[in-house]
Each structure stands twice: as C-alpha cells, then as structure tokens.
C-alpha cells in the first residue's frame, strides 16, 4: 500500500508582515518547510512526497530546499491554486497509484514520526482521520451579532491540526463533488469529506507543539520548541 504526503507550501503569510513567505522563513537556520519534509523523508510510512507551492516559488523550493537537503522522496513540486482546496486538489491530481494521502500544512514544522504512525494506523482502520488535540479553552459559539449563542462541552471540542489522512479514493471523489459546489467556507479537507463523502473521520491525538506558523510571535515559540527537540533534526 502506497502512502503519499501532500505538503502545502503555497501560503502567502500576510499576517507575518514579511516579504518572505512563512514556509520559507528560517527557524534556527533552516526553512520552516524543511522540518516537515525531513519528517516525511525519514518516515517508513511514507513512500513519496508532493510539494505544492506558488508558481513563482517552484525553482527556489526545488533548489534551496529539496535538492539542498537531499529530500529524495519528493517526486514533484507543483503550482498551487487560488485557495487552499485548489492546492490540495492539484496535489491529489499529481498522485500516482496512491492508496492513502497525508495532507499537511508546510507551515506546521513540528510533525513527528509518532503522529505519522498513529495516523497511518487510524486510516487503515477507519479510512479517514485527522490529527488534533483536545481544546484547552472553553469555546463559545457566536451569533450574527457577536453575542454568545451557546457553549459546547469542552470534552467534545478538538483543535484540528495536520496531517489529515485519507483513503485516496475517498478524498479524491469528495473533492471532485465539492468542486461542483460553492466551496467558499471550506477550511480543511475533513470538511470536504464531511459534506461530500460517506465516511466518518477518526480524531487522532497530535501534539500541542504541532503549531502552525502564522504570526511573527509563532517564530519565537517555534525556536523554543526546536531547542527542546533539537536532537531530532
């Protein structure tokens, strides 16, 4: 059974207030994107990697990251689309003979082999799973006027991360159906399968350290996390 990692690295990073895209910013001397590619490269569960980035960044990504660090599992670096789901679809179309896909945000550098292994075990059992962590915070549902409408039970609320892992056939078919509809409010691939698939999605524990680099403050936090786990890289 072949598993392919689709790593999304096409984000513009507008909240970073930087001319450099967030996935190419440096953490301890290496690009953010390097860390998740390193993990997939060294995982026994992953046979190949497809990187989806901006058209203008393809050569940089190939030369300065893929070739520079010897990521031999990367089979293609392809241009993404206007929205995240367009980039995911491009990645799915680039897969060849894949049985399972691990869809991961390249701006989440602290993926681990344990997360990949737990995700693989779950997708084999359930056909679809997402990495996440139980919420530490109380969550409020707001109405259209910014007033509290309800408070869901915290023990039922998870903060969803990536990778999100699916049977290739199931997620490809769900994306095909979704593309015929309005996808404006789709924020992750699990939502695509929830709406347009016929499969329940298993929640799998990730890590509170599996942060997404979104703001300048996240780089500072990431450096502290990396100091803690530096020996891995």
Distances (CA, A) of 113 to 28, 158, 166, 220: 21, 21, 17, 23
pLDDT at position 15 is 54
Matching residue, tokens 């390193």: 38
What helix, strand, coil percent values describe the chain, rounded to 5?
Answer: 40, 25, 35
Quickly state the pLDDT bin for 184 (edges 50, 70, 90). Answer: confident
pTM of the model: 0.94
Domain that holds residue 219: 3-232
Q: What is the pLDDT of residues 38-56, one digit of tens each?
A: 999 999 999 999 999 999 9
CATH number, residue 160: 3.90.550.10
Count: domains in the chain: 1
Q: How far apart are CA 59 and CA 73, in angstroms?
A: 17
* DSSP 3-state of 210: coil
Find all residues with CB under 8 Å of 49, minimum gap 6, and list them.
4, 5, 6, 7, 37, 40, 41, 71, 73, 74, 75
pLDDT at position 231 is 57
Q: What is the pLDDT of residues 117-146, one digit of tens each?
A: 999 999 999 999 999 999 999 999 999 999
**Pairing relationship of beta strands 3-9 and 100-105 according to DSSP bridges:** parallel
């Amino acid at each position: 059974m072949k598993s392919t990692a689709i790593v999304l690295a096409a984000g513009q990073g507008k909240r970073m207030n930087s001319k450099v895209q967030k996935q190419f910013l440096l953490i301890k001397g290496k690009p953010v994107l390097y860390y998740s590619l390193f993990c997939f490269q060294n995982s026994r569960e992953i046979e190949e990697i497809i990187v989806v980035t901006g058209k203008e960044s393809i050569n940089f990504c190939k030369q300065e990251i893929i070739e520079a660090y010897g990521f031999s599992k990367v089979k293609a670096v392809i241009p993404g689309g206007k929205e995240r789901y367009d980039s995911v679809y491009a990645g799915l179309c680039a897969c060849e003979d894949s049985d399972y896909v691990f869809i991961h945000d390249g701006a989440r550098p602290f993926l681990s082999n344990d997360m990949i292994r737990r995700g693989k075990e779950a997708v084999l059992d359930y056909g679809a799973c997402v990495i996440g962590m139980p919420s530490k915070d109380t969550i409020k549902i707001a109405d259209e006027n910014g007033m509290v409408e309800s408070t869901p039970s915290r023990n039922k609320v998870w903060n969803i991360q990536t990778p999100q892992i699916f049977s290739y056939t199931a997620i490809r078919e769900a994306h095909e159906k979704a593309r015929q509809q309005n996808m404006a409010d789709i924020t992750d691939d699990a939502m695509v399968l929830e709406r347009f698939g016929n499969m329940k999605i298993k929640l799998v524990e990730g890590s509170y350290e599996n942060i997404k680099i979104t703001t300048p403050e996240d780089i500072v936090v990431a450096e502290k996390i990396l100091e803690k786990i530096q020996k891995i890289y």
